[in-house]
Amino acid sequence: MKKTTPKTKTSEIYNFYINNTNKPVNKTLFNNINWELNQYVINYLLLGENRKFDFGSRLGYLSIFKFHRKLKIRDNKLVAAPDWGTTKKLKAEGKLSPGKIVYFTDNYFIGFKWIKEHCNIKGNHAYMFKASRTNGVESTSGAKTQLAQKLKDPLYHFKFSYIEEI
């Protein structure tokens, strides 16, 4: 019995390109070009200063924004989003007792946002952009990881403007 591998999105995009152009390209070269383009876009956006990457063809644009973190007070207690990374790290070091959780207390967080105000895709509200770490937490090429590395500089967040809603 022949073992088949499932189609990936990269394979589908490559097949679409090959079927719709007269320019045959090796699949490895095609993937390398896409990877380089993605890295360029990430590096461009990470420069800050309200930079936008316009997708063209009325597909909207991608940018990095500072979002107001939603903090609530319930029963005279602060209700905030858990900081699972710090919680896990402190528990591994033995500095946090079991059952305790560290929460985010700053009033903003920074992330990627696909702005679809003038997007002409039908049902565009159902689509979203989700930045990845590429190959897991240890990867250095992913958008999330690169942004996290830049945010270690305490003044870096001033390069981005606030946006009201997520």
Q: What is the pLDDT of residues 85-140, one digit of tens each?
A: 889 889 989 898 888 888 877 777 788 888 888 788 777 777 777 777 765 555 66
Rg for the chain (alpha carbons), in Å? 20
Q: Tell me what percent of the residues of the chain surpass a pLDDT of 70.
A: 86
Question: What is the number of structural domains in the chain?
Answer: 1
CB 157 within 8 A of CB 110: yes
> Quick check: is 87 in a domain?
no
The model's pLDDT over 1-50, given as tens digits with 9 standing for 90+, comes to 444 444 556 678 888 888 888 888 888 898 888 888 888 888 888 888 87
CB 112 within 8 A of CB 62: yes
The model's pLDDT over 11-25, given as tens digits with 9 standing for 90+, comes to 788 888 888 888 888
List strand residue ranges (DSSP E) for 11-157, in order.
52-54, 61-68, 72-74, 77-79, 108-115
DSSP code at position 158: G
The reported pTM is: 0.66
Q: Which helix (H) or strand (E) segment is 11 a member of?
A: helix 9-20
Higher-confidence residue of 78 and 6: namely 78
> Quick check: is 49 in a domain?
yes
> Quick check: is 13 in a domain?
yes
- Please give the Cα distance from 115 to 81 (Å, whole number): 24
CB burial class (10 A; 0-12, 13-18, 19+) of residue 18?
A: middle
> Quick check: is 60 in a domain?
yes
Count of residues in the chain:
166
CA 146, 148, 153, 159 torsion: positive or negative? positive
- Please give the Cα distance from 110 to 156 (Å, whole number): 10
Q: Which of 76, 50, 47 is nearest to 63 (CA)?
A: 50
Q: What is the pLDDT of residue 2?
A: 47
Domain span at residue 14?
Answer: 9-69+106-163
